[in-house]
C-alpha cells in the first residue's frame, strides 16, 4: 500500500537547542488537532465514506503520518542537547521525569493523547466538515507556533506544514461539493 522513502517529506532543520519551542510543537504531535489525530481520523473515516472520496481520505491520512514524522524530528532536534534543567525551565520537567527525552503523544499542556480527539459520525458530509475544521485548527496552530518562534530554519518547515493544512482543507471542501452533487442527483428507478 505504501512505499517508504527514508527521508522526510520536507527537510527539517533547527538553528539551536530550544526546548521551549519543542514544548509548543508537541501540541501538533499529540494534541487534539495534531497530526496523529488527523491521520487516524481520516484513515478511520474512509471506511464509511462513498467510493468517490475514499482515495482522498487515504492520501491525506497517509500524508498526515509524514507530517507526524516531521514534528517528531523537530522536537527531537530541539531537545536532544538540552540539559534536564533546560527541559524543566521550558516546562518539560514532568515529561522528562516520565520519558527522559523520548517522544510521547501528549499536548503542549502535558495531557496524553486520547481517542476522544477523533470524530467519525458516519455521515460523509458531516465527517468532511469535521475534517475541514480539523485542518483549519491545525493551520491556525502552526501559525501561532511560527509567531512564537525565532528560528528561521524551523519556521521554513512549519510554513510548509501550514500550507499543506490549507491544501487539505481545500481538498476536503471539494469532496463535500462532490458528495452534495451526488446526494442531490435525481434518482431514477
Q: What is the pLDDT of residue 189?
A: 67
The pLDDT tens digits of the residues spanning 14-56 come to 999 999 999 999 999 999 999 999 999 999 999 999 999 999 9
Q: What is the pLDDT of residue 183?
A: 82
Kindly indicate the confidence band of residue 135, based on its pLDDT and cuts at 50, 70 and 90: very high
Q: Using CA atoms, how far apart are residues 58 and 45, in angstroms rounded to an integer? A: 9
DSSP 26-66: HHHHHSTTSHHHHHHHHHHHGGGS-HHHHHHHHHHHHHHHH
Q: What is the pLDDT of residue 5?
A: 79
Q: How many CB atoms lie within 10 A of CB 21?
A: 23
Q: Does the structure show a pLDDT above 80 at 102?
A: yes
Q: What is the pLDDT of residue 187?
A: 67
Q: What is the pLDDT of residue 186?
A: 65
- Mean pLDDT for 130-158 is 97
C-alpha cell, 110: 502535558
**Lowest-pLDDT choice from 43-47, 126-130, 183-187:** 183-187
- Mean pLDDT for 123-139 is 96
Amino acid at each position: 500500500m505504501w512505499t517508504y522513502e527514508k527521508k522526510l517529506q520536507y527537510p527539517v532543520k533547527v538553528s539551536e537547542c530550544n526546548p521551549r519551542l519543542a514544548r509548543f510543537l508537541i501540541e501538533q504531535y499529540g494534541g487534539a488537532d495534531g497530526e496523529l489525530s488527523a491521520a487516524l481520523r481520516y484513515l478511520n473515516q474512509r471506511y464509511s465514506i462513498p467510493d468517490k472520496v475514499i482515495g482522498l481520505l487515504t492520501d491525506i491520512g497517509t500524508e498526515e503520518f509524514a507530517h507526524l514524522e516531521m514534528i517528531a524530528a523537530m522536537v527531537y532536534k530541539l531537545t536532544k542537547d538540552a540539559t534536564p534543567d533546560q527541559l524543566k525551565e521550558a516546562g518539560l520537567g514532568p515529561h522528562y521525569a516520565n520519558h527522559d527525552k523520548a517522544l510521547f503523544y501528549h499536548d503542549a499542556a502535558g495531557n496524553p493523547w486520547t481517542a476522544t480527539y477523533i470524530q467519525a459520525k458516519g455521515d460523509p458530509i458531516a465527517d468532511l466538515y469535521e475534517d475541514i475544521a480539523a485542518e483549519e485548527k491545525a493551520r491556525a496552530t502552526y501559525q501561532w507556533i511560527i509567531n512564537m518562534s525565532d528560528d528561521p530554519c524551523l519556521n521554513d518547515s512549519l510554513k510548509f506544514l501550514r500550507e499543506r493544512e490549507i491544501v487539505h482543507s481545500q481538498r476536503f471542501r471539494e469532496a463535500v461539493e462532490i458528495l452534495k452533487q451526488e446526494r442531490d442527483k435525481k434518482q431514477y428507478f
